[in-house]
Amino acid sequence: MKLYYIPAACSLAPHIVLHELGLEATLVRVDHRKHLTGDGEDFHRVNPMGYVPALELDDGSVLREGPAIVQYLGDLKPELGLVPRNGSMQRYRLQEWLNFLTSEIHKGFIPLLYARLAGQYVDTARPKLEQRFAWIDAQLADRRFLMGDAFTVADAYLYALTGWGQAPWLISHYKADIHFDALQHLQAWYRRVHARPSVQQALREEGLQ
């Protein structure tokens, strides 16, 4: 397998999941400005949309959306519990989280990451994103991870996204004008996830330590 990634981007999530599962994959760094890989390949040949992550399988087929990629990886080793069993209510809860993170958190960050282009829209986008993070904080009040006591691929995804904030306890090359100082449950969750060996290894490999 090959994982195409940009350091500190949302591709950090499947990178973490690979290490959680003990799976081997070739890491291919992508220049987000030129859309070229390290060996000069046009990344648009891998993903015509030009964004990461992309996971090239051994048969040459490519998965191009983060939530699909992390579920695919988790299903390779279901006994490790990073994704619940297919067809179970817990699996639908996981998909509920992944869809929420994609549509409300991931996309919600875009105006803040490109504030100069977004202009006054940032003033609308930031409060909405803050409300969504406050809701996540409330969900974490009585659980260690998003789905309960066990770490799942949803936690890997949220970790990558939360790293785009500017709170002093975050590690990120992406900077967005949003702070999580008052969200104590979110901060405690972040520290738990950040300390995981899989996360530390992925951060080192992406040059984020």
Q: pLDDT tens, 184-207?
A: 999 999 999 999 999 999 999 999
Q: Please state whether the peptide bond connecting residue 53 to the residue before it is cis, i.e. omega within 30 degrees of 0.
A: yes
Burial of 9 (0-12, 13-18, 19+ CB in 10 A): buried
Residue owning tokens 């983060």: 66
User: Can you tell me the distance from the alpha carbon of 160 to that of 12, in angstroms, rounded to the nearest whole number?
Assistant: 6
User: Can you tell me the distance from the alpha carbon of 122 to that of 45, in angstroms, rounded to the nearest whole number?
Assistant: 33
User: Can you tell me the distance from the alpha carbon of 188 to that of 68, in angstroms, rounded to the nearest whole number?
Assistant: 27
User: Can you tell me the distance from the alpha carbon of 206 to that of 66, in angstroms, rounded to the nearest whole number?
Assistant: 17
The pLDDT assigned to 122 comes to 79
pLDDT digits (tens, 9 = 90+) for 43-80: 999 999 999 999 999 999 999 999 999 999 999 999 99
> 25-47 burial by CB neighbour count: b if 16+ within 10 A, else e?
beebbbeeeebebeeeeebeebb
**The model's pTM:** 0.94
- Residue 139: count other Cβ atoms within 10 Å of its Cβ: 14
Among 10, 51, 30, CA closest to 154: 10
**Tokens read off for 204:** 């080192």
User: Nearest 5 degrees, angle CA 25-CA 195-CA 192?
Assistant: 115
Among 209, 153, 205, CA closest to 27: 205
- CA distances, 113 to each of 39, 108, 126, 159, 164 (Å): 28, 10, 11, 16, 8
Q: Domains of the chain (ranges plus CATH)?
A: 2-80 (3.40.30.10), 89-196 (1.20.1050.10)
Residues 6+ apart with CB under 8 A from 154: 94, 97, 98, 101, 146, 147
**Tokens read off for 45:** 């040949």
Ranges of residues in the chain with a pLDDT under 70 are 116-118, 166-175
Contact 135, 183 (CB under 8 A): no
User: Nearest 5 degrees, angle CA 102-CA 106-CA 110?
Assistant: 140
